[in-house]
Amino acid sequence: MIARPRRNGDGDLNARELPIASDQTRRRFPHAANPPRHLFNFAMSSPIELNTIPEAVEAIARGEVIIVIDAEDRENEGDFICAAEKASVETINFILGGRGQLCAPLLPDLCKKLELTPVVAQNNAPLQTAFLTPIDIATARTGITAAERSETIRRLADDDVSVDDFVRPGHVYPLLAKEGGVLRRAGHTEAAVDLARMAGLQPVGVLCEILNESGDRASRDDLAKLARERNLKIISIEHLIAHRRVSEKLISRSATSTLPTHYGDFQIIVYKVEYEAQEPIALVFGDVTAPGPAPLVRMHSSCFTGDLVSSLRCDCGDQLHMALEMISHEGRGVLVYLPQEGRGIGLAQKIRAYALQDNGLDTVEANHALGFKADMRDYGIGLQILKDLGLSEVRLLTNNPKKTKAFNLRGFDLKVVDQVPIVSTVNKHNQRYLETKRKKMGHQLPPMS
């Protein structure tokens, strides 16, 4: 077993006094050859060399710890990750050297079986990490030791696990992963579950964020050095998405027909999304896979008030009809209609936000007052639809450069080659809304007069 590092008089870990693991531990746990001396005094500038996803999956299957990094425009962090059923005492002791929060990602069915509840009723954390009430194995004396936390985590991965096996609160935080994994949410929580499942193990993972000696997130250079020195596999969530996207998907076509409109005849395709009740729609005009310039694509989030009853508070309805007209005029293109009302907060919350705007808040401030980010939308399902339609390059109809960047970063092998503006008419009811989108959300709109 690896001894824990001592702390100096200031309470800081003393890298020079870190003990060396035994030869037996080196052979059994190559990832834990030494205590986490590599978490301190980072200094390098060479580029990251990532392992392949199959290499990482094989390492997980062997019980090794790997490093998983996410997008730079997301958490921009690296986590230690392993499979729960392989979480030995030595492994947990090594992972704790990451200095972050030790967590055990799991799926909703296990969460329900164990009656695990969220730590808060409304999750307004920036990335919606779904923390559940922390637990300890029922036989634990304190629950804090590496051995007790190892037992707690490994029990989560047993087929016959029951609610009575644990006490709460404890020292291991279960995390609720989304069904569909990183294809639904590009987070470490989902990556841990996906990797365990892909390794043929129970879909329960272990993760811990990796911090540097100052307590900040370890940089990508830090993580690359750590992986090289400890012979750890290192992958990105973006590559995991890309790998899964090649071999599996969450959508399937459930119905299709011709749809005559004021803008010409479209093909309407209704999709079924695995694990969800939502039914996104693709409106396809012309042959979008024929040779030629990349087709126009509009990724449109549903807006009952704007799309159906022509509300003047937003520009959604105008953009919907403008997009259909532009696609028709060009001769080919796709409009994907996603059920993401109110920038992802839902219709009722959107109307509550309207009420707050009536009292002086702008659209961003109203979202924040309700406990939401300015924009809660996710385009993973929409990107899968575009891939299902055979597209690899698109010209995206949007005023939002962040959406364009997100498309190119998601790992779906789908490139936005041009951002095409779609600017509607300003009126007295939506002027402040549009100005807020321009100033606070980065939308490329002309100044409101």
Question: Residue 431 corresponds to which tokens in the numbers above?
Answer: 């002027």
Element (H, E) at 269: strand 264-273
Give the side-chain half-sphere CA count within 13 A for 268: 14
Least Cα distance to 166 among 136, 188, 143, 146 occurs for 136
Give the side-chain half-sphere CA count within 13 A for 238: 19
Q: CA 281, 385, 364 angle in degrees (round to 5)?
A: 70
Element (H, E) at 365: helix 363-369
Which positions are catalytic? 375, 377
Least Cα distance to 401 among 356, 445, 434, 339 occurs for 445
**Residue 381 three-state SS:** helix
Q: Which residues of 179-213 are buried (b: 16+ CB within 10 A; e: fewer)?
A: bbbbbbbbbbbbbbbbbbbbbebbbbbbbbbbbbe
Q: How far apart are CA 20 and CA 266, in angstroms?
A: 67
Beta pairing partners, 211: 217
Is residue 90 within 8 A of residue 25, CB to CB? The reply is: yes
Q: What are phi and psi of 121, to 5 degrees?
A: -70, -40
Is residue 425 within 8 A of residue 318, CB to CB? The reply is: yes
Kindly report the length of the chain. 449
Is residue 206 within 8 A of residue 83, CB to CB? The reply is: yes
Is residue 308 within 8 A of residue 302, CB to CB? The reply is: no
DSSP 3-state helix, strand, coil percentages of the chain (rounded to 5)? 35, 20, 45
Q: Which residues of 319-350 are buried (b: 16+ CB within 10 A; e: fewer)?
A: bbbbbbebbbeeebbbbbbbbbbbbbbeeebb
DSSP β-ladder status, 264-273 and 251-261: antiparallel
